A = this chain, B = another copy of it.
Amino acid sequence: MKKDTTTEEKIKEAARTVFLTKGFEGCSSREIAKAAGMNVALVNYYFRSKSQLFQLIFKAAMEDFMESMIYVFSTDQPLEDKMRIFIEREYDFLAKHPELPNFIINEMNREEACASNEHSVILEKIAETGIFNDCQKAQAEGKMRKMNLISLTLLVMSNCQYPIMAKNLMQSIHQLTKEEYDEQLVLHKGYVTEMLVQYLFPKQ
């Protein structure tokens, strides 16, 4: 232990940024070492292999990916408000970590990787917030549209994550600058919130 950021942490940080922007196959050990200002051998000295380092980064990224959800769901507010706040927070979060959804989804599609892992833990953590019970209750009382968990999460994730994931595609198709698209995202967040709330919590 010497400075604030030890060599091990420097490598981990560098690995995170490189892995998240380029993916596991899109970068080399040497690239990570260089980004950390270190020798290549040090990467394996601390983390044994590129794969092991990656798994570490991936796991942490996955937790980040789920973090904001859990926070909001734990609050004690009407379900409809939770939904609004959640979307608000999710758009904020993804604006800060725009590479995350693509990274997670891509690496989940690599056969070798992460596929068989214990990602059901995530679901349990979310379940601990009581959000799922709240939904079931609201559905039973007729305050919320009846729908299983999978579609519920799909609806929310689709409308929050896709607009970030497809950023470059949409910019290219619609000929927009980054700034213009970011403005568009703010507008879109409003539409998404309105649409989801109206559909999930129908009035009358």
Q: Which residues of A contact B (CB under 8 A)?
A: 23, 25-26, 102, 104-106, 108-110, 115, 117, 119-120, 122-123, 147-151, 153-155, 157-159, 161-163, 165-166, 168-170, 172-176, 184, 187-188, 191-192, 194-196, 198-199
Contacts and interface: CB of A to CB of B under 8 A. Distances in A.
Contacts of A168: 105, 108-109, 115
A109 B104 CA distance: 14
Contact of A102 (B105, B115, B147, B187): B105
How many copies of the chain does the oligomer comprise? 2
Q: 10 smallest A-B Cβ distances: which pairs?
A: A158-B162, A195-B199, A119-B172, A108-B168, A162-B162, A158-B158, A25-B26, A108-B169, A151-B188, A25-B25
Given A148-B184, A154-B188, 12 more contacts: A26-B110, A102-B105, A105-B166, A105-B168, A120-B172, A120-B174, A147-B191, A149-B174, A151-B188, A151-B191, A155-B188, A157-B162
B150 A155 contact: no
